[in-house]
Amino acid sequence: MIFNSIGFIIFFCVVLLLVFAFSKSKVSCKKTNLLLLIASLFLYATFDYRCLAILVALIVYTYLLGLKVQSEKKYLTIGVMLDLFLLGFFKYFNFFIDSFGRLFGVGTAGSISIILPIGISFYVFKSVSYLYDVYKNRIEPEKDFVSFSLYISFFPEIVAGPISRAGNLLGQIKRDREITLNNLAEGVQVFVFGLFKKIVIADNISVFVNEVYRVPNAYSSLTIALCVLAYSVEIYMDFSGYSDMAVGCSKMIGFDIEKNFNLPYISKNATEFWKRWHITLSSWLMDYVYIPLGGNRKGKQRQYFNLLLTMALGGLWHGANWTYVLWGIANGIALIVHKMYRDRFGKKKENAISIIGTFIFVSFTWILFRADSFGNALDVLIGLFSFRSGVDFISSWAVIGTVITFIYTVVAYNKNDKNAFYPIFNLNSIWGLFLFFVFVGLTVGLAYTGSNPFIYAAF
Amino acid sequence: MAFIFLNVLSFFYYNVPSRTPVEDGATEYKWPSYSFHSQATEGLGFGRVNNDGYNNSTDFTKDSNIDVLLMGSSHFEGFNVLKDENVAAVLNRICDKTVYNIAISEHTMLRCISNLEDALKKYKPNEYVVIETMTVSFYDAEIENALNRENRLPTYSGMIMDVLQNMKYLKLVYHQYDNLKASSPKESKALNNEALINELLEKAKITCEEYGVKMIIVFHPTLTYDNDNNVHALYNTKDERILREFCEEKGIVFVNMEQEFIDCYKSSSKLPHGFSNTTPGNGHLNSTGHRLIAEKIKEVMGAQEK
């Protein structure tokens, strides 16, 4: 059950009613957590009941190792190795077999049929960060199994993040939480805002983008250029829309989880972009890959290598395809170039040209991210720069989506000090209620009604 | 208040009139006279239907002198394009015959042939009846329904239905729900019982002879293209051959638009189906598709008269 499904809406309404009833009846937060845990595991099982066993296994071994990890480093090593094994086997086994086979010309006889558990990349990262934070004494090991299980399997986050840190989410899990009308009002609006971004803008644009990427050689350069721009909008709306839905759901049941996107396309350089795009992933990579590798503490050359490796791994995390790795490397190179530039010329006042330049660079790298293969990416790039004629397709939704994103970005930039905001109406007023229901109505009426999963759910 | 506002928006964004019963049987339903329609979910079209409840620029009267009667589904109906872009409007401009369009949504070729006698009785075209189809493959059950005039399309009447049908936003939501159901994979069709389609076409032939008109069936397949720019139409070639051969035997002109569509794609990279707010190449006929079909019909009629 993904967020934008009727099944999920029904499921969430039931959970919300029960949580609300528990809250009003002053039921202990332990019992409420147990309810949320059952709901989370149930939701996960609806994707594929076989994957539930994998999630439960991870919860159990991470919990047990977490109790011991402060005493000996070997428990951290075992935990991380188990996590990487799970991720490596389910997500990358066939990828490495295929790559090895192609490199040495030995075919792909070793590849096997493996299910990819949904959200595995996200909950494995939560497990790693928990064990590491306990090892480093940043947090105490969680003794309550239900609380810990809920932290790993928390249903608003399980499919596609955000990757919450134990210090933040576990703290909220163990606290008494009140369901207030204010939380409900705000949460539902944030949810609808995210839903609009996903099912109206992202999904409608995806029809155009998917078609152009399917047969790029059929399309004119103008169409391909629009497609490249449109995909930048699509992936932003899709992923930030999902994150907003996760924030909204969490808010309604009494949790505040991290925002994952903060106007990434106003970034003036690659460094800033990675502080505004998929914030929980980039901070995870910094804290658990880049800094343990040495960060910037071992000289410039080592710093650049660490950046490149971290971003390459970040690319690989997104999917079992060399295009993702190359996408990560391209971003790593951009980060290195920015650091070199800053070291040489100092922190200069960057301007609109920096924003446009960074956006263009990011849009180009999205070509690698979206393409099925290097050949596909090359076809798109050649199509873009060959100024050729072909099928001209100026997608209305690509234009509409771009304009809406631009307007929202400009408003947020000016009204909210260059930070993203949620348009929250005052539901106590007639005008606020009117606007909210019009927004819900538009979301339903304009939604794309073909099949379109979340982009990041595939990771 | 919000609901009223959404209804106003839907009036312009997606406004399909309510179906009313047809006494003469020429079609299985029609729109209310002079009702307004608009369509921006797929393509862009708006306007009023005529007094007769069909998408024509001119009214129908008992004295109307029709040369060519168009029958078909939403493709020929042309709600997705502007009024002067549909097949009937283009044909009326480019040929010296009076063309009248009673194409209306969900009227497949089978339904049109089933209703043919009533349509010819009412409209009395002088020369041709043109029926459009996007497929050459049919289930046996569909053909049997057409032969027996069963499983007719529903119409809506009664106070509650009238009220609901006039709530444009509810119709939009229902349209979304319909699309959601339709997006699940469907079984592909194939012609199993050739005798059935032969029987239906024979019935059409006899009816046309009785009314002194020539029948033209226009088949407009969807084009598909690959990354090497190879383009071809998507259909079951065996079913197409069967249909074409039966038509030839019975003196029905069968037109397959595949070559015209491919030539247009190769010369101008334009596709006959699809719109800027959907997908290129898929869905209803766009203005290019309507124009190509109108030109082909004119050509075919000219060849018939030589």
What are the backbone dihedrals phi and psi of residue A179, each rounded to the nearest 5 degrees, phi first?
-90, 110
pLDDT in tens, B79-127: 999 999 999 999 999 999 999 999 999 999 999 999 999 999 999 999 9
Nearest CA in chain B to A433: B2
Average pLDDT of the segment spanning B197-212: 94
Contact A365, A331 (CB under 8 A): yes
Determine the pLDDT at residue A39: 95
Determine the pLDDT at residue B189: 66
Substitution target from A208, A386, A391, A448 for chain B, most B beta carbons within 10 A: A391
Determine the pLDDT at residue A14: 94
Chain-wide mean pLDDT for chain A?
90
Give the minimum alpha-carbon distance from B305 to chain A in angstroms, rounded to a whole number: 37
Determine the pLDDT at residue A68: 92
Q: Give this prediction's pTM.
A: 0.90
**Band (A24; pLDDT cuts 50, 70, 90):** confident
pLDDT exceeds 60 at position A453: no
Determine the pLDDT at residue A111: 60
**Band (A447; pLDDT cuts 50, 70, 90):** very high
Of A123, A128, A158, A146, which is closest to residue A65 (Cα–Cα)? A128
Per-residue DSSP letter, B31: P
pLDDT in tens, A161-177: 899 999 999 999 998 88
pLDDT in tens, A281-291: 999 999 999 99
**Band (B157; pLDDT cuts 50, 70, 90):** low
Average pLDDT of the segment spanning B38-56: 93
pLDDT in tens, A170-220: 999 998 888 888 999 999 999 999 999 999 999 999 999 999 999 999 999
Per DSSP, the residues of B54-105 read: SS-SS---TT---SEEEE-SHHHHTTTS-GGGSHHHHHHHHSSS-EEE---T
Catalytic residue, candidates A177, A197, A268, A318: A318
Average pLDDT of the segment spanning A279-304: 92
Residues on chain A touching B183 (C-beta within 8 angstroms):
449-451
Say whether A449 and B180 touch across the interface (CB within 8 A).
yes
Cα B96 from Cα A127, distance rounded (Å): 77
Give the minimum alpha-carbon distance from A438 to chain B in angstroms, rounded to a whole number: 5
Q: Is A338 a catalytic residue?
A: no
Residues on chain A touching B11 (C-beta within 8 angstroms):
none
Determine the pLDDT at residue B63: 86
Nearest CA in chain B to A220: B269
**Band (A452; pLDDT cuts 50, 70, 90):** low
Average pLDDT of the segment spanning A125-144: 94
Contact B273, B287 (CB under 8 A): no
pLDDT exceeds 70 at position B184: no
Give the minimum alpha-carbon distance from A301 to chain B in angstroms, rounded to a whole number: 43
Helix, strand, coil distribution of chain B in percent, nearest 5: 45, 15, 40
Determine the pLDDT at residue A118: 87
Determine the pLDDT at residue B183: 62
Nearest CA in chain A to B230: A218
Determine the pLDDT at residue A79: 94
Helix, strand, coil distribution of chain A in percent, nearest 5: 75, 0, 25
pLDDT exceeds 80 at position B162: no
pLDDT in tens, A241-260: 999 999 999 999 999 998 89
**Band (B295; pLDDT cuts 50, 70, 90):** very high
> In the sheet where B214-219 sits, what is the strand order?
B99-101, B68-71, B128-133, B214-219, B253-256
